[in-house]
Structures are given as C-alpha cells and as structure tokens.
Amino acid sequence: MEALLWLAVALPALGAAATLLVPRPLAGPVAVGGAVLAALPAWVLLAGAGAGETARSALLWLPGAGLELGLRLDGLTAAMTVTVATVGLVVLVYATGYFAEHPRAPSALAGLLAFLAAMQGLVLAGDFLTLLIFWELVGALSARLIAFSREDALAPAGAVRAFLTTRAADVGLYLAVIALFAATGDLAFGAERPGGALGALVGLGLVVAAIGKSAQAPLQTWLSGAMAGPTPVSALLHSATMVAAGVYLLARSSDLLAGWPLEVAGWVGALTAVAGAAIALAQDDLKRVLAGSTSSQLGFMFVGVAVGGPAVGIFHLVAHAAGKATMFLAAGIFQHARGTTSLSELSGAGREDRTAFAAFVIGAASIAAVPPLAAFWSKDAILLAAEENPAWLVLSLLAAAGSAAYLLRPALVLWRGTPVGGPRRAGRPAMLAGAGTLAAASLVLGFAGAPLADLIGGPAPGSSPLSVGLSLGALLAGVVAVLAAPSLPPRIVALARAQLGATAALRALAERPLLLAARAADALDRTRLDAVVDGTARGGLALAALSDRIERSGIDAAVDGTARAIGRGGDRSSRLQSGRLHEYLRDTVLGAAAVAFILVLTAVL
C-alpha cells in the first residue's frame, strides 16, 4: 500500500513528462495512458480503504525538527483520490479531443497530468507540511493552466487574479501550519486545536485558506476570471478538484476546527451559496454561470462539513464533481461547435448536439437537486443536517431554489433559443465519451452516501421526509420563478455581474491599499534605501579616487622617479662617450694622474 501511495502521485507526473517527450501524434494516447495508469493505484487504494486498511509512508524531511514528508491512506484520502483520478482520467480523454487541433496540445495535456500529480499529493498528504507543499504546487500549476490560452488577453489576467487571490488566502494556511507547529511541535492531522492565540490562528488560518481555494465569498471573484482558461481545465480544476481542496481541507481538519472555526466556515458557506447563486443567475456566459454555481455548491459543502461532518460535505463534493464536470464538458462541446461560451450566441446549440445537451441536462438536474440524481441526495443530507441551524437552513433553501433557476435558464436558452448563423463543428467522439461517462456517474452516485460514511466515518448522510419536501419545494420555486420571470431586473443583473460588489470591494479594500503600500515602499526605496546605496557607491568611488591618488603620487612617482633617474644617469654617462679622441685621452691622463697621486700619497703616508 505504501508503494501505491507514492505511485498515485508519481505516475501522473511521469505521464506528464512522457507526454512532453514523445512525438506529437503520440502525445494524446500517452497522456490518456498516463491518466489510466494514474487511476489504477487510486482505485486499488479505495478498495484497500474499503476493506478497512490504513497506511502511512513517510520520508524523513528535516531530521532535526522531526519533520516528515508523508502520504497516508484512510477513508477520506481514498474517496478524494478516486474522485480526482477518475475525473482526471475522463477530462484527459475529453481533452485529447478538445485540444486535437491546438498547436500546443502536448503542453496542455502535460499540464493537466502534472496538475493531477500535485492534486493527488494534496489529497494523499499525510501531514500538514506535505499538504502545504502540494497545496502550493496545485496553485502554481493551476495558474499555468488558466493562462494556457495566452493569445486571449483575458486568460493571463484571469490567471494572475486567480493566483494572487488564492496566494493571499494561502498565507492563512502558512500561518495555521506555523502556529500549529509552534503550539504542538507536530504537524500530524487529527490533533486537538491548541488553546490561546495560537489555536485561534490555526483555526482562522485554515478557514481563510479554504475560503480562498474554494472561491468562497468575498474571494469568489477569481473563479469567474479563471473561466478564461480552456474548458477541460475549468472542468478539472474549477469544478471537481482544485476548488474542492478547500472543502477537503475543512473535512481533513474537522477535528482541529471543531467549534467556532467551523461555525465561521458554515456562515461563509451559507452566504456564498446564496451569493454564488445570485451571481450565476445574472451571467451571460455559460462558463461564468457554472463558475457562480460552483462557488454556490462549494458553499453548500462548507455548510455540510460544518453541520453534518466530513462525510456529508465530501458526499456533496463527489456528487458535485461528477455533475459540474459533466456540465463543463458539455459546455466545452458547445464552445467547440460555436467558438464561444456566450449564452446569447449559444442559443439553440443544444438542439444541434442532442447527446451533449442530454449530458448537460443530466449534470444540471443533478446539481439542481432533481431526484433521484446524485446531488439531490447529497444536498438533502446537508439540508437535513442544517435543520439544527435555522439561519443556515433558510440560506441553503434559498440557494437551492437559486440552483434550479440559474441552471434552468441556460438549459432553456440552449434548447429553445433560435440558432444563430455561423460555422458549426461536430463534437469529437472523445469529448462526447468524456461528458457521457460523467453524466452516467451523476446517475448512479446517489447511492454513494452510505458507503462514503462507512469509509470516512462520522454521521451518515441521510434524508427525512421534511428535508426531501423542502428540497423539492425549493426546486419547484426556482423552476416557477424562471418560467414566470425569464429575465431579471437590470439593476439586479448589474449588481450580480459585479460579483455583488465583491470585485469593487476587493479593489477598494485589498488592491488599492496594496498598491498604495507598494508605492510608499517604492518611495521609501527611492529616497532612503537608494540614498544608502548611492552613498555607499559614492563612498566607494571616493575611496577609489583616494587610493588612485596615493598610487599616482606615491608608488607611481617612486617607480617613475627611479626610471627617470636611471635615464638621466644614462644620458649623462653617454655624454662621456663623445667619440672625440682628445677627451678620451684627457680622461685617461687625468685618471692616470689620479692613480699616481693616490699611489704617491699612500707611499708617503
């Protein structure tokens, strides 16, 4: 089992490398093969966990601090790893069709596989340090995938916004992990929350990180921007896996977060469920509708984890992954056919591709909680659990009605709208197969609740006549509302398009102060730090000039002087050699006289 844990992370990474290395025509098959190979260990792990097995494998990371890089298998990781691997496989099959004509197809496929590897590491992580490492990897790789369509100016901008927003929230995870280590000296899961300020920091940090990653209010705006990425990326990252990481984090640390942190998460989730639904209602872009819906459904999961425990939240996560990914894949087929995701230009597209539309409707019905589809049961379990908190129950019912409304609206446009002219492209078989598979999963996953509870532990997702009645009532209300009032008042549309003011608020509260702080830092840089740097440079120049002067006046002068003296001596002595015989003779005579004089003198003395 230990080897399988590492294989589940390593195989997609190897697949990514292989996809980049093989010749271009082979990239698609190799990528799908890598995804299949990556899914095998995940299913074996699920089988093992189903049989009650747990495993843990760790590499020593920092021996001195006792930090380990570890993976673990338990019920929760098994459920997550299978969800990730399976959706990943389906999306990769789909992506081979979606990217078939794209010049950088291998890069996209490899990026998806690399993301899968990081995501598997995230869900299989055995402790908070490993989780943090893969959490960062997931964020970085997702930004790369969103920015894949770099010809489109919106894509890099959306990637930057997504990256920066989630990064800012990731600071919470860092603080939480550091605080946890400071308080307990251990980073294992399942510890009790320490008391005091450190404990508060742990709780708040984890909740903030989950809010950022799962696009909860007020940070939900990045998810809309991320829709500029390719549709398979949206299906894999922004419906099924990456955004679910926040819910997974809550479920994973539900012991650590018991008490007020989960209460905070539940409130954020309930409010986001309503806000996301309102945002989704007002969008004129199919993918943006789905993005708002994802925020809303993730809010449901937050509520589910907060009131019902991990199993309830993860049940909705799995059901939502299947349903929402189906819708994204179907949206990608329409996008492929019409070259756009704008709803007004997609009108009538559903009638032209009935298979894709059928898949879309199944996914939408599941998310809108039409019985007996998967998300009906999971949402029902959340509503049942939320009965203990009336405020959340009301908000959830409102959001449930909203779900029905915002999904019915695009479905009606796709089916009833008048087709606009323009070229058409049929969906590729691989794309239809992907959407069909996940639609089938939406049909059957409703029975997954009880097994998931067995696997994860905690209270089982359930339903009662009351919750079913409330759910159906909300569904009916949403449907009636859309049929009665097909278009919303423009003021509400404008407000919702502006992310209920979250974009403006973020700009005013986060971007402006940050820019001002950056400018102040820049000014400080220029006036103070630059002065220090310039001063140092100027001092260095002065010192250099001084040493230059010393060299010129002292050392050079000495050397030059010696040379000049020798030269002058040479000049003088060369003047002796005049070539005139008489002077030589005179010198000889004088010399001889001097010698004689000395001889006489010594003789006399």
Partner 1 sequence: MISLPVVLVFAAVLFGIGLYGVLGQTNAVMVIMGVELMLGAAMLNVVGFLRFAAQDSTSGAFFVLILLTLMALEAAIGFGLVISTFRNRRTAEVDDLTDLSG
Q: Which of 19, 61, 60 is nearest to 38 (CA)?
A: 19
Closest separation in Å from C-beta 538 to partner 1: 54
Can you tell me the distance from the alpha carbon of 563 to that of 579, in angstroms, rounded to the nearest whole number? Answer: 26
54, 344, 562, 578: residue in contact with partner 1 (rule CB under 8 A): 578
484, 576, 603, 605: residue in contact with partner 1 (rule CB under 8 A): 576
Residue 371 Cα to chain centre, angstroms: 34
Can you tell me the distance from the alpha carbon of 392 to that of 406, in angstroms, rounded to the nearest whole number? Answer: 20
Nearer to partner 1, 25 or 579 (CB): 579
Can you tell me the distance from the alpha carbon of 245 to that of 228, in angstroms, rounded to the nearest whole number? Answer: 21
Closest separation in Å from C-beta 585 to partner 1: 6
Nearer to partner 1, 491 or 575 (CB): 575
Nearer to partner 1, 3 or 590 (CB): 590
Cα separations (Å) of 517 from 31, 151, 175, 441, 530?
45, 32, 22, 49, 18
Residue 498 Cα to chain centre, angstroms: 23
Residue 454 Cα to chain centre, angstroms: 31
Residue 262 Cα to chain centre, angstroms: 23
Q: Does 24 bind partner 1 (CB under 8 A)?
A: no
Closest separation in Å from C-beta 552 to partner 1: 33
Closest separation in Å from C-beta 581 to partner 1: 4
Nearer to partner 1, 533 or 585 (CB): 585
Can you tell me the distance from the alpha carbon of 553 to that of 547, in angstroms, rounded to the nearest whole number? Answer: 10
- For partner 1, the binding residues in 59-98 under the rule CB under 8 A are none
Can you tell me the distance from the alpha carbon of 383 to that of 475, in angstroms, rounded to the nearest whole number? Answer: 13
Closest separation in Å from C-beta 568 to partner 1: 14
Can you tell me the distance from the alpha carbon of 248 to that of 84, in angstroms, rounded to the nearest whole number? Answer: 12
103, 580, 601, 602: residue in contact with partner 1 (rule CB under 8 A): 580
- For partner 1, the binding residues in 440-459 under the rule CB under 8 A are none
- Please give the DSSP secondary-structure letter assigned to residue 426: P
Stretch that binds partner 1, among 93-101, 176-184, 475-483, 573-581 (CB under 8 A): 573-581
Closest separation in Å from C-beta 567 to partner 1: 14
Instruction: Return the SS3 of 151.
Output: coil
Q: Which of 441, 439, 443 is nearest to 359 (CA)?
A: 439
Stretch that binds partner 1, among 172-180, 202-210, 296-304, 580-588 (CB under 8 A): 580-588
Q: Which amino acid is at 484?
A: A
Q: Tell me how crowded residue 62 is: count the other CB atoms within 10 A of its CB.
A: 10
487, 527, 574, 602: residue in contact with partner 1 (rule CB under 8 A): 574
150, 549, 552, 586: residue in contact with partner 1 (rule CB under 8 A): 586
Q: Does 579 bind partner 1 (CB under 8 A)?
A: yes
24, 582, 602, 603: residue in contact with partner 1 (rule CB under 8 A): 582
> With b meaning 16 or more CB within 10 Å and e meaning fewer, what string describes 167-195?
ebbbebbebbbbbbbebbeebebebebbe
Closest separation in Å from C-beta 595 to partner 1: 15
Q: Which of 281, 158, 221, 217 is nearest to 498 (CA)?
A: 221
51, 532, 581, 603: residue in contact with partner 1 (rule CB under 8 A): 581
Can you tell me the distance from the alpha carbon of 314 to that of 463, in angstroms, rounded to the nearest whole number? Answer: 16
Nearer to partner 1, 151 or 571 (CB): 571
Q: Which amino acid is at 14?
A: L
Closest separation in Å from C-beta 562 to partner 1: 22
Binding mask 520-559 for partner 1 (x = CB under 8 A): ----------------------------------------
User: Number of residues in contact with partner 1, rule: CB under 8 A?
Assistant: 13
Contact residues: partner 1, CB under 8 A:
573-582, 585-586, 589
